[in-house]
Amino acid sequence: MLFGPSVIIALFAVATALPIDHDAMTQSDVNNALDSMISGDANGAAPGDIVLDYQNEASHSHFDHDNAKDPFFKSISPALLAKPTYVAFNALTATYTTPSIDAADPNTPARNTAIDAWFAAIKTTVPFQSMWTYLKTQKIASSDYPTFVTALKALWFTPYGTGDAGFKEVFSGAVKGTNVVGFANWVQFYQLEQTKALNYHGWFNRDKVCFDYDIFSSFKFTNKYYFMI
């Protein structure tokens, strides 16, 4: 599933950024909204679309030890990555070439074009529409689409600090010095692994993996880093 995590982030980012009655937003309501987004995601991976190779457990004491000789992603269906939302998403993440949050990373015309193309690709999807409906029901989001998207762009893409942004930290990958401070996107993980910029070291448990991350060849480090699957 590609879009599910991003709408979850939007849901809570908007909810915590605006003055609303949190007591009126029950856990059951939130769970139902998330279930609706996930179950209706036609762009999600089907059984067999993604094949993982966990291999050996990573070392808990020597994080530079590579206990997995092969990539983590054994195969991904080309048809899955060819879906319009994935294509637009990859085009957008490709505009993020400065992973350091201490270096200026302003939104360029090319990035703004890619942002608009991504919103166009996800606009009619069930997860996006389910999220918007829920937020409107909670009186959190505007019922006017351009106004709503403007708010989402501000939340996800407006730079904060020197070179960070919500989308960058979650989906593209962000580092501070030699530490990964944000990276929770399996599509980007796969892309970096394909280009040898990321070296999978093994798993701590089956929902956490360890890896070396060569940040666009600018520097390389070994770090105890958990990537949630």
Helix (H, G, I), strand (E, B) or coil at 162: coil
pLDDT on residue 30: 79
pLDDT on residue 24: 62
pLDDT on residue 92: 96
Q: Which two tokens stand for residue 6?
A: 């991003």
Give the residue, 200 or 93, on which the prediction is more confident.
Answer: 93
Biggest distance spanned by C-alpha atoms of the chain: 53
Q: What CA–CA distances, in Å, run from 202 to 83, 190, 206, 207?
A: 29, 15, 10, 11
Contact 120, 84 (CB under 8 A): no
Beta strand segments in 159-224, E:
174-176, 179-182, 198-205, 208-214, 220-222
Helix (H, G, I), strand (E, B) or coil at 52: strand
Q: What is the pLDDT of residues 128-168, one digit of tens each?
A: 998 898 888 888 889 999 999 999 999 899 998 889 999 99
Nearest to 136 by CA among 147, 123, 122: 147
Q: Which of 5-9, 49-53, 74-78, 202-206 has the lowest mean pLDDT?
A: 5-9
Q: Model confidence at 17, in pLDDT bands (50, 70, 90)?
A: low
Region of 205 please: left (phi>0), alpha (psi -120 to 50) or beta. Answer: beta
Nearest to 202 by CA among 51, 49, 71, 61: 71
pLDDT on residue 29: 80
Q: What is the pLDDT of residues 90-114, one digit of tens each?
A: 999 999 988 889 999 999 999 999 9
Q: Helices marked H in the chain — which ranges?
A: 4-17, 27-39, 78-81, 84-93, 109-122, 126-137, 145-157, 166-167, 186-194
Specify burial of residue 63 (Cβ count, 10 A radius: 0-12, 13-18, 19+).
middle
pLDDT on residue 207: 62
Residue 229 has pLDDT above 50, yes or no: no
pLDDT on residue 220: 31
Q: What is the mean pLDDT of residues 11-31?
A: 62
Nearest to 163 by CA among 155, 178, 174: 174
Strands 198-205 and 220-222: unpaired
Residue 176 has pLDDT above 80, yes or no: yes
